[in-house]
Structure 1
């Protein structure tokens, strides 16, 4: 179309994810119905959608182990929020799921991203100074970890990935994720630094805190090549399955009404300014 001698064209919105026409759906450069359905797992597809490359079998195994590790952890605040929202609005399943996901933050689910970001920052700074260990030598990794934990403590900040409200003596997910990464040749610098933090933290902090599952998942995802800013998305993706399970159970065995009545009947009103 020409206007006053100038040529105008429709805007272009590029995407490498997917498109469709009257006859087919195309996803990541493949025919969805003819090439992917029945041949690609959901976990493999999730990896592929973000990385824009198909994962190797080893990467798929570690990635899906991370998703399983993060899917559910019992009656966490996120699960309770989803159940309570469903009780309040049973006509809005999507609202209940969203309520649970919105609770993914610094204490629950967000630790995956926080840990990955912390490890990446330490490694980036070490790389600039030529201090990243060239070999899997524990002494060298411990030295780097000790500096990082000391700096964090001096700044008055928590070390993400350390400690768990339930698993005080050790998160059972952590050694399994590390073992899978090792078996698949994917035990990279983020995991090695994370392990070293677990070894040196008791001496630096004066107390023993376990390496938690959300943290080790962040380290594993970072070693798979994902940028820190996307890691919380994978935690939320995994937890969506867990929340959906909680909501299905809530439909059959509701607990939200009891939670509501318990809080309502035991609420204690106090005048403003009094205890």
Structure 2
């Protein structure tokens, strides 16, 4: 019986969300093992190959908790390749300040700092994981992600919805006052459009509401810009596919990231959702 085995290795910084990710993968049907010693990876895969399941999805959390065993990880990856088993590596990371805050909130000790300072342990861990990060197929920064957004990102990276185009797109609204997203492939500035912020009844709302969307979209300049923007994006996306691009981040920004950019991100999502795998995120709408 021919078998199709999918192995996902979840790794990354302590406190970056590996436990949450393994729960997400479990919900997606993966057989999950947390903190498996790397020396057992190939033996575990070999054992699972002899099961009766034709379709096998395995997720293994491998991280610095393995301590002395962690160094054998790369040898085990070579063994998987020799066995003809394909694998993906998901690497989770976050900014140092966010990691420190998470450890303080949970009152857990960093595995490399049972008695010492967390910040120093984080720096040491980054160094130890740098080589593995460079091997990762998927890198997710969880600094500002809510659990729901992390789930969408993991699904977006791993699950193909068999859309017409084999391209995954992240649509991100943001506020320029909070900084531009560094991972944007395409970035559009909508600060020239009429601003709902100056309408008292619309100020507390966001571009996810009909009231704000109706206001933003009613102006002739907005209608003209929307046609031109969507025409450009619909022209570009097939060209990116021809070049072999599998993921694209489209960022749309206004001053505060609450009204105009959110409106256009929502409308762009509606424009593209029938053809592409999409992830929609409003980075600053709640600020």
- Report the TM-score when normalising by structure 1: 0.29
Q: Work out which of the two has the higher radius of gyration on C-alpha atoms and give 1 or 2.
A: 1
Task: Choose between structure 1 and 2: higher helix proportion.
Answer: 1
- Report the TM-score when normalising by structure 2: 0.28
Q: Which protein, 1 or 2, shows the higher relative CO under an 8 Å CA cutoff with sep ≥ 6? A: 1
Task: Choose between structure 1 and 2: higher strand proportion.
Answer: 2
